[in-house]
Amino acid sequence: MKKRIFSGIQPSGTLHLGNYLGAIKNWVALQDKYDSTFCVVDLHAITVPQKPAELRQKTIEVAKIYLAGGVDPEKSAIFVQSHVSEHTELAWILNTITKLPELERMTQFKDKSQQHNQNINAGLFNYPVLMAADILLYDTDVVPVGEDQVQHIEITRTLARRFNQMFGETFTVPEPYVVEEGMRIMGLDDPAKKMSKSAESAFNYISLTDDPDTVREKIKKAVTDSEKEIRYSDEKPAIKNLINIYSLLDNIKPQEIEDIYRDKRYSEFKNDLAETIIGFLEPFQKKYNEIDDGEVRKILGEGAEKVRPMAENKMREVKEKMGLI
Ligand code: TYM
């Protein structure tokens, strides 16, 4: 039997190269080997305020990004979280075995409650429990994500083990899957912080919808450091980050890039990097623009139908084990 992977992205903010390199690129690489399920996690997105019309549009857009990025609906199920109600049902049950300090520790909760200090709602606090439900419903073995989500997978593992101990073997304990160079793509304007959907400045990220001139401008402005040498080192986080992006998009090792540019100027390196990014984005965007909304809705409908029986079976098992008649 094939092992299973599950992952998801929130339909909020601007999807950027970090989302592609940290997550989608790996999904595509893994979908042949694993039984794959990719979800547009709209119920997670509403833990911060969303405008209904925008949320509707973003949900379709994110599914299109999966498809344009190479997720193949013949091989992988693609669906919307709120279309399979077992996600919220299992989340409630898992809430009852989650300890408050376990949630209080979560870095994303601390960051988001600072950003949205007028709206620290219970959903934001319970966010990792819903994520655990997403993963555990499908007997997921492997969860391909960026590093910022690893803490949420740790709590998922804790909850799976705890439930199994209390009620008998029910859930598979999942493993995170992260790729060293892509797990933490940093902001172009600040290599100390990750590239982020909710960054204040558009110079923080390369959006998956940026046109060639915007990419050139953003890479030109990307911070480097005072030294002139192009070196792949933790002492040079800005250059290291740019080399990582280059390396993942061109499928060459960081050390090879270092060799190629050793005696060259930053400007030459940056020009080539910008063209590499454009070389990735152009066909991606062409594919994205060719995908019809109606087709996406059909794929999402079929995806939900495909995963629903699994979710229903798991919920039945959970209820039985817990004594819910
Ligand atoms: P989200 O929507 O914030 O991000 C989607 C994916 O992109 C990765 N990512 C990055 N990777 C590398 N560098 C970056 N700068 C960067 N920024 C974002 C994230 O790690 C993630 O893999 N809670 C999740 C969504 C979710 C989920 C799930 C994921 C809900 N349920 C179940 C896996 C399994 C989130 O907010 O991701």
For position 182, what pLDDT does the model report? 84
Q: For atom 1 of ligand 1, which residue has the closest CA?
A: 9
Whole-prediction pTM value?
A: 0.96
- Most ligand 1 atoms within 8 A of CB, residue of 9, 17, 58, 248 to mutate: 9
- CATH number for the domain spanning 280: value is 1.10.240.10
Does ligand 1 come within 6 angstroms of the Cβ of 145? yes
Instruction: Verify that 227 and 116 share a domain, yes or no.
Output: no
Q: Which range marks the domain in which residue 11 is found?
A: 4-177+292-322
Count of domains observed in the chain: 2
Instruction: Verify that 8 and 121 share a domain, yes or no.
Output: yes
For position 227, what pLDDT does the model report? 80
Nearest by Cα to 218 from 183, 180, 245: 245
For position 140, what pLDDT does the model report? 98
Instruction: Verify that 210 and 231 share a domain, yes or no.
Output: yes
Does ligand 1 come within 6 angstroms of the Cβ of 22? yes
Higher pLDDT, residue 227 or 74: 74
DSSP for 206-259, written as a single string: -BTT--HHHHHHHHHHS---SS-----STT-HHHHHHHHHHHHHHT--HHHHHH
Mean per-residue pLDDT for 153-163? Answer: 98
Q: For atom 37 of ligand 1, which residue has the closest CA?
A: 9
Q: Name the pLDDT band for 35 (thresholds 50, 70, 90).
A: very high
Task: Say if residue 153's pLDDT is above 80.
Answer: yes
For position 24, what pLDDT does the model report? 97
Task: Say if residue 199's pLDDT is above 90.
Answer: no
- Average pLDDT of the residues of the chain: 96
**Percent of all residues in the chain with a pLDDT value above 90, rounded to a whole number:** 91
Does ligand 1 come within 6 angstroms of the Cβ of 17? no
192 assigned to some structural domain: no
